[in-house]
A and B are shown apart, each in its own frame.
Chain A
Amino acid sequence: MTALAALEGMDRLTSGEALVAQNVAFAIMAITMVVAALRMVTTRNVVHAALYLVVVLAGVAGQFLLLGAEFVGVTQVMVYIGAIVVLFLFGIMLTKGSFGEDDGVSSEKRLMAGLVGLLVFGVMAAALVDSFEDAEVAREAPSTTAEVSDSIFSTYIVPFEAVSVLLLAALIGAIVVARKD
């Protein structure tokens, strides 16, 4: 929650100082996230990969706070780190024995994946730099949970209902797929 505190303590700083503080926070988090993400996709130990994923997810939550999306940030922590990662750890535990370590990825495959990854990044980066050259994110104040909930239950009610149906379908689907019979 340090980023949040930084955001709230910002009125005491001058605008220039606040900007510097925000950018420093961003840089630290971004570097950590990228490194953790890279380690996640390269480490041989599956459990370590899950822990690196936690770091990335926490970093994403931090970015949300930096962008003033407090509710989404908290949800990110609770749902992703609290639930989904635990689910992954269960998955790893239940499939233990097949892979203690994920080894022996052939170098050609890594090369191929790396090339595709770089290609994806190159195209996206070119498009982004081209389109949003100097656009500034200018958020006056963090959005409140009330605003988000109002929006969900009025403008976005139909997607909301669709998601609820999707969750039900996924629930049933997961049970059907994974049950023993």
Chain B
Amino acid sequence: MLLNQFLLLSAVLFSIGVYGVLARRNGVLVLMSIELILNAVNINLVAFGAFRATVGGEVFALFIIAVAAAEVGVGLAMVLLMYRNRRSIDLTAIDQLRG
């Protein structure tokens, strides 16, 4: 197996994740897309770990899984807060940053 096939798969998933983050209006869907990005990174880590024949890559993939769990927890809490305050989780409706 070529290393590059995994890395390119990861790149594709990463880019799709980026698209999702940028294009979706629903807050929950944006979070899902972030999960996609994190998973793409995980594939990278494990592939490089296998390539270099160390377990370091796997260990960091595990850490990222833990970090992702934390991220989803906080992210969904924020989405819920937003829903409670504005009855909507439409990200396009949030434009208080307008200059």
Binding site for B on A (CB under 8 A): 19, 22-23, 26, 30, 33-34, 37-38, 40-41, 46, 49-50, 53, 56-57, 60, 63-64, 66-69, 71-72, 75-76, 79-80, 83-84, 87-88, 90-92, 94-95, 97-99, 102, 104-105, 109-110, 112-114, 116-118, 120-121, 124-125, 128-129, 132-140, 143, 147-148, 151-152, 155-156, 159-160, 163, 166-167, 169-171, 173-175, 177-178, 180
Contacts and interface: CB of A to CB of B under 8 A. Distances in A.
Contacts of A167: 66, 69-70
B46 to A, nearest CB: 5
Q: Is the interface of B mostly helix, strand, loop or mixed?
A: helix
30 contacts: A41-B33, A46-B26, A46-B28, A56-B13, A69-B58, A72-B42, A72-B58, A72-B65, A75-B65, A80-B35, A84-B68, A88-B32, A91-B76, A92-B28, A95-B79, A95-B89, A98-B87, A112-B22, A114-B19, A121-B15, A129-B8, A132-B3, A135-B2, A137-B6, A139-B50, A151-B55, A152-B59, A159-B60, A163-B66, A178-B78
A148 B77 contact: no
B53 A102 contact: no
A41 B42 contact: no
Interface residues of B, number: 73
Contacts of B4: 128-129, 132-133, 135
A159 B84 CA distance: 35
Given A152-B62, A159-B63, A117 B5 contact: no
